[in-house]
Chain A
Amino acid sequence: MPPSQTHPYIPNAVSETKQEMMREIGIRNIEELYADVPQKFRLKRRLNLPNKPKPEHEIRRQVEVLLSKNRTCLDMPAFLGAGCWPHYVPAVVDAIVQRTEFLTSYTPYQPEVSQGMLQAMFEYQSMICEITAMDVANSSLYDWASGVGEAVRMAVRLKNRNEILVPKIIHPERLATLQTYVEPLGLRIRPIGYDQRTGLLSLNALRHGCSDMTAAVYVENPSYLGFIETQVEEIAETAHRKGALFIVGVDPTSLGVLKPPGEYGADIVVGEGQPLGSHMNYGGPLLGVFACRGEIELIRQMPGRIIGMTTTLDGSKTGFCMALQTREQHIRRERATSNICTNEALCALASATYLALLGPEGLRELGETVMVKARYAMQLLSEIRGVKAPVFESPHFKEFTVNFDKVGRTVRSVHQTLLKHHGVHGGKDISHEFPELGKTALYCVTEVHSEEEIERLAQALKLVLREGRG
C-alpha cells in the first residue's frame, strides 16, 4: 500500500512501524524477505482484481445490493426441503453462536483455555446420543451426504467386505457423494428397490441382496421422499443376520415422535443437523450428525473429533478434552480413520443451544406440529383435481410427493407459473430423479409454514391448474 496509508485489519501497516521493525531485523526493504522466491515465478504484475481497499460503508452497500437480488423464503412462501429445511431459529441461538469467544476460536488444541467450546461440544454429542439413543457421537462432520460416505467407509474397515446396500429411494446428492467417497475402495453399491404402493424398502429384494459380502445396509428414515420407513426392525434383523452393520440416516427433527434408531438396531446413525438451529444459507454450512454404538471396536473406527469428559491431572476438577486423538489425521496420518480436521463445530454449538431450548417436550411438539401441518397440506392439495399427494400410501413426516400426471403439464411449468403469477415457490421437481414416479415434486412443510400459507399454496395451485396450458 502507499506509505501514507494503512488498513484497519493490519495494525503494523503504518510505514514508521514497518521501518522500525525492519531496522530491528536488519533489512531495508520487505522484498528482502522474499529474496528466496525464484524471480522466474514471481508475479510481475499486480493481481487482476479490485486494486484499492474499500471503506466498510462501500462494501456494505455493494454486497447488500448483490444480496438484495435474491429472494428469500421470507419473501415468498416456499415449500422446499430435500436435505436443507426451513425451521425457526430462535434469536438466542444466533446470539450464542455470535459470541466471539466461540466464533473466533480454533480447534481446542489447548483444552485448558478452551473449556467453553469443549464442554459445549460434549453437550452437543450427549444430546445427539439422547435423541438417537446411541452411546457415542462425534462433534460433527461436514454434512449428511459426506457423513454417509464416512459411515460406509467405517463399516468397510470393520467388516472387510466390499458391498453396501442402499435404498433406491435415496437423495441423489447423497448417493453421488457416497459414490465419490467409496470409489477408491472399489466398493459395490447395490440399490434395493421399493414397494410401488407404499414406497417402503422391498424386504424381498433386501433378503435377496444381503449376503456375507455385505458390509452394511443403509436406510433413511424418514426417507428422502418423506414417508416413514416402518420396517426398520426387519431391515436391522436382515442386516445383522448376515453380519452386516445397519446404518440409519435421519432428519433429527423427527426424533421427538419417531422411535430413535438406537432402539431398532442401528449400529451407526448419520443425519443432517442443519434443521436443529442452523439457517439454510443457500445450503451451507450444514452439520453432519454421526453417532454409533458404544463398543470399543466401533468407537476406535469412528471418523472425526470426539470430546470426552475427564478430570484435571490432580483429580480436583472435572473438565473436557479431545479424546481418542490417535484415530485422527494429525497423529495417525495415513492410517487415520478419516482426513477430517476442520468440521462444523459452530453449527454443533447452534444445535446444542437449540436442543436445550426445545427440551424433550419441545422436540416432541416440533415433530407433531410438522406432521400436522404437512398432513394439512397433503389434504388440501389432494382436493385439487388431477393432483395426487402423496404418491405413496405410507405415513409421512414433513415432506411428501405431489404428482401432476393427470394435469397434463410438467412440474417445471406448473411451478414457474406458481412462482411468477402467485409468488409461491413450489417444492423440488424430482421428475428426472425418479422417472417411474411421473411428473412429481417433493414438497416440504414445517412449523414455520402457517395455515394461511398452506392455503395460499393450495389456492394458487388450483388457479394455476385451472388456467390450463396457458
Chain B
Amino acid sequence: MFKQACWDEPVILSLGRKGRRGCILPSVKEETRRRVGDVLATVPSKLRRKGLPGLPELSEVEVARHFTRLSQMNYGVDLGFYPLGSCTMKYNPKINELLASGLAEVHPYQDENTVQGILEILYALSRLLAEITGTHEVSLQPAAGAQGELLGALIMRACHKLNGDIKKRTELIVPDSAHGTNPASGTMAGFKIVVVPSDQNGCVDLKALKAAVSERTAGLMLTNPNTLGIFESDIGEIAETVHEAGGLLYYDGANLNAILGKVRPGDMGFDIVHINIHKTFGTPHGGGGPGAGPIGVCKELAKFLPVPCVNYDTKRRRYFLDYDRPESIGKVRGFYGNVAVLVRAYTYILSLGVEGLEEAAETSVLNANYLVKKLSQIRGFELPYDKRRPRKHECVFSVKTLYKETGVRALDVAKRILDYGMHSPTTYFPLIVDEALMIEPTESVEKEELDRFVEVVKKISDEAYSNPELVKKAPQNVAVTRLDEVKASHPKTMALSWRMHQKRNVIKAAVP
C-alpha cells in the first residue's frame, strides 16, 4: 500500500541554535580590511541595519536534512502518474538537466564574442519553434505562458494602435472554456473581455461568435484542441470570422502537445502563438516554475516583438542580440528569457526529432482515448459532449451522476486518488463541465500504469457506492489529511508568514 512520507518537520525559522552556520563565505585578507577601513562606517548610521535579520542559525547538515525531508512530502512526475489536465506533466529527461548546468556561470551582459554558443542555441531554438508552430518569427523572452499571453495581447494592441483604431478595438473575445490566464492577460493588456459560449459539442459556438465580433473586436484567444481535449474543427470559419472583423487570432499553446507535426497553429490562421516550454517540451515545472513562454507571430506582426531578438549576421558570420526594432513593444522582463529552461527544450527537441515529436503527439492522444474508453465504463463517470468524437491529448469526465447518487464529489475522487499513490487530475475545470475531472496522461506513461489508474478509479467508484464516507475522508495515506483552506485565507486567521503567525498565533493544532 502507498504511504507518503510524513515527517513532522518544524518550520525552518523555529529550528537551529545560536552560532551555527551552514556556509562559510570566501574570506577577505586582513591587509585588505586594514586598507579599506570600516566600510560600514561609510553608510550613515540611520541607513545601517540595527540588529540581525530573523533567519535561523543552522549547520549545512540540518539544512540538507530539512529540505530533503520536505522533498519526501512532495509528489513529482518521477514518482508516478501525474495526469493533471492542461499541465502536460510529461517526463523531464535527466540529460537536459545535466546539459543546462553548463550555462550556470554565464552573465547576460558578456561580450557577444564570448557567448556565441548560447546565442547559437537560442537562435536555433527560435527557428525550430517557428517551424513547429508555423509562425514567422519567435521571441524567447516571456518567462511563462501567461507572460506570453500578455505579450501577445500587447502585440495586438500595438498592431491596432499602428492602424489607428486602438480606441475602437477594445474587446478581446475568449470562449467560456478558456484557461483563466486568457481573460486575465487580456485585461492586463487593457481589453474588455467578451465571453462566447460553447455549443452542444463543447466547441466555440459559431453563431455566438459571429454575433460577438464587430468593429470593436481586437482579437480572439483560443486553445485548440480546446480544454475539453476536443479539436475545434470549425477553426477555418472561426479564423475567417475574426479576421474579417479586423481582429487577430491568438493561440494558447497549452495543448500544443497533441498536434506536434500534425497541424500547425500558423497554418490554421493563428497570428500569435505562445508555447508552454515546460509543458510541450519536457522541461520540469519545478513545483510552480520556472517555465518559459516564447511567442511566435506571423510576418506582419514580427516588428512588434520585444527586444532583443537573437539574430544571425550572415556577413560577419556571428550571432547577435538585435535591438534595432523601432516598432517593438519594448520588454516584458529583464534580459532575454528563461535561458536555462530554453536550453533544456532545445535538447529535448533534438532528442526526439520529427519522428519522436510526432510519436509523442500520437501517443499522448492514444493514451487519452484509451482512458476515455476505459473510464466511460465506470459507474458514475460520464464523458460530456460528443462521445463518438475522439479526444486529443486530454479528456474531461463529469462525476455529477456519482455526486447525485452517492454524495461523492469530483474533489473527493481527486483526494482519494492520492491515497493510491497517484496524482489527481485537474478538478472543476473547464468551468462548463459540472464536477469535472480533467485528465491528461501524456505520452510518458506505460499501458500498465494507465490500467492501474483505471483500476483505481473503478475502486473509488465502488467505494463511493458502498462506503462514501471513506472517499469523503480521503486522503489518509499522504503527509496530511484535508486542509482547512478557509482558515488559510480568512482575514482573522491568515498566517502568511512566520512573523505574521507569531504575531497573531491563531494557527494552533495538536501537532504544531
Chain B hits for A109, CB < 8 A: 84, 426-427
Q: Is B25 located at the chain interface by the 8 A CB criterion?
A: yes
Q: How would residues 13 to 38 of chain A score, 1 for a CB under 8 Å from any chain B CB and 0 otherwise?
A: 10001101110111000101111111
Do residues A56 and B351 form an inter-chain contact, with CB atoms below 8 A? yes
Asked whether, in the complex, the Cβ of A323 is within 8 Å of the Cβ of B52, the reply is: no
Q: List 18 A-B contacts (CB under 8 A).
A: A11-B444, A11-B447, A12-B363, A25-B370, A62-B350, A90-B23, A115-B480, A116-B70, A121-B287, A130-B13, A146-B147, A146-B333, A341-B145, A345-B289, A346-B289, A347-B289, A357-B58, A376-B36
Chain B residues within 8 Å of A54, by CB: 350-351, 353
Is B415's beta carbon under 8 Å from chain A? yes
Give A317's nearest chain B residue, CB to CB: B511
* Residue in A110, A179, A280, A448 whose beta carbon sits within 8 Å of that of B104 in the complex: A280
Task: Name A334-365 residues within 8 Å CB distance of B.
Answer: 334-336, 338-347, 349, 352-353, 355-365
Residues on the B chain within 8 Å of A136, using CB: 496-497, 500
Q: How large is the interface on B (under 10, 10 to 19, 20 to 34, 35 or more residues)?
A: 35 or more
CB distance from B33 to the nearest CB of A (A): 6
What does the 1/0 interface line of A123-152 toward B look like (CB < 8 Å)?
A: 101110111000111011011111000000
User: Beta-carbon contacts of B141-155 to A below 8 Å, as 1s and 0s?
Assistant: 001111101100010
Cβ of B131 within 8 Å of any chain A Cβ, yes or no, is yes
A360 contact set on B, CB distance < 8 A: 52-55, 57
Tell me whether A101 and B78 are in contact (CB under 8 A).
yes
A155 close to chain B: CB less than 8 A: no
B263 touches A41 (CB 8 A): yes
Contact A369 B261 (CB under 8 A): no
How close is B37's CB to chain A, nearest CB, in angstroms?
8
Determine whether A208 belongs to the interface, using a CB cutoff of 8 Å to chain B: no
Contact A24 B115 (CB under 8 A): no
B168 near A: Cβ within 8 Å?
no
Is the Cβ of A71 less than 8 Å from the Cβ of B99? no
A311→B63 contact, CB < 8 A: no
Taking the closest CB of chain A, its distance from the CB of B499, in whole angstroms, is 5
A334 / chain B contacts, CB cutoff of 8 Å: 183-184, 186-187, 193
State whether A326 touches B489 (Cβ < 8 A): yes
Q: Let me know if B488 and A425 touch, CB within 8 A.
A: no
A173 nearest CB across to chain B (Å):
5
Tell whether A439 is near chain B: CB-to-CB under 8 Å: no
Pair A83/B75 contact, Cβ less than 8 Å? no
- CB B507 to nearest CB in A, in angstroms, measures 5
In this assembly, does B300 line the interface, its C-beta being within 8 Å of a C-beta of chain A? no
Q: Contact: B39 with A184, CB < 8 Å?
A: no
The reply to whether the CB of B256 lies closer than 8 angstroms to some CB of chain A is no
- Contact flags B377-413 to A (C-beta < 8 A → 1, else 0): 0000000000001101000000000000000000000
Instruction: List the B side residues contacting A71 at CB < 8 Å.
Output: 110, 114-115
Residues of the B chain whose Cβ atoms lie less than 8 Å from the Cβ of A197: none
| B268 CB-CB contact with A under 8 Å | yes
Contact A120 B355 (CB under 8 A): no
A101-B494 in contact (CB<8A):
no
The residue that B115 contacts in the complex, of A122, A183, A256, A282, with Cβ under 8 A, is A282
B131 engages A101 (CB within 8 Å):
no
For the complex, give the distance between the alpha carbons of A366 and B183 in Å. Answer: 44
When the two chains form the complex, which single residue of A130, A326, A416 contacts B55, counting CB atoms closer than 8 Å? A130
Q: How far apart sit A312 and B488, CA to CA, in the bound complex (Å)? A: 10
Chain A's closest residue to B106 (CB) is A282
Residues in B318-347 with C-beta less than 8 Å from chain A: 329-341, 343, 346-347
Shortest distance in angstroms between B73's beta carbon and chain A's nearest beta carbon?
A: 4
The residues in A between 298 and 350 inclusive whose CB is less than 8 angstroms from any CB of B are: 299, 305-326, 328-336, 338-347, 349
Residues of B within 8 Å of A183, CB to CB, are 154, 157, 190, 329
B61-81 interface mask toward A, CB cutoff 8 Å, 1 = contact, 0 = none?
Answer: 001101111111111111100
Q: Is A205 an interface residue (CB 8 A)?
A: no
The answer on a CB contact under 8 Å between B350 and A356 is: no
Q: A394: shortest Cβ distance to chain B, in Å?
A: 9
User: Does B463 touch A at the CB level, under 8 Å?
Assistant: no
B452 to A: closest C-beta gap in Å: 13
Identify which of B75, B118, B357, B485 gathers the most chain A CB atoms within 10 Å of its CB: B75
Residues of A within 8 Å of B487, CB to CB, are: 310-311
User: CA A166 – CA B264 in complex, angstroms?
Assistant: 43
Instruction: Check: A435 CB closer than 8 A to any chain B CB.
Output: no
Among B293, B339, B479, residue most surrounded by chain A Cβ atoms (within 10 Å): B479
Question: Complex Cα distance A158/B33, Å?
Answer: 47
| B60 interfacial by beta-carbon distance below 8 Å | yes
CA distance A11 to B11 in the complex (A): 40
Specify which chain A residues have a CB less than 8 angstroms from the CB of B49 in the assembled complex.
255-260, 364
B445-A12 in contact (CB<8A): yes
Distance to closest chain B CB from A457 (angstroms): 14
Q: Which of B28, B93, B372, B493 has the most CB of A within 10 A?
A: B28
B39 lies within 8 A of A53 (CB): no
Q: Does B313 contact A (CB under 8 A)?
A: no
* B 353-378 binary contact with A (CB < 8 Å = 1; else 0): 11111111011011101101110000
The verdict on A72 contacting chain B, using a C-beta distance below 8 Å, is yes
| CA A25 to CA B48, docked complex, whole Å | 70
Find out whether the CB atom of B117 lies under 8 angstroms from the CB atom of A66: yes
Q: Closest approach, in angstroms, between the C-beta of A179 and any C-beta of chain B?
A: 6
Complex-state Cα separation, A357 to B56, whole angstroms: 8
- Taking CB atoms and an 8 Å cut-off, the chain A residues in 158-172 that contact chain B are 171
CB distance from B74 to the nearest CB of A (A): 3
> Which of A59, A135, A317 is in CB contact (< 8 Å) with B509?
A317
Q: Is there contact, CB below 8 Å, between A369 and B25?
A: yes
Interface centre among A180, A362, A376 (most CB of B within 10 A): A180
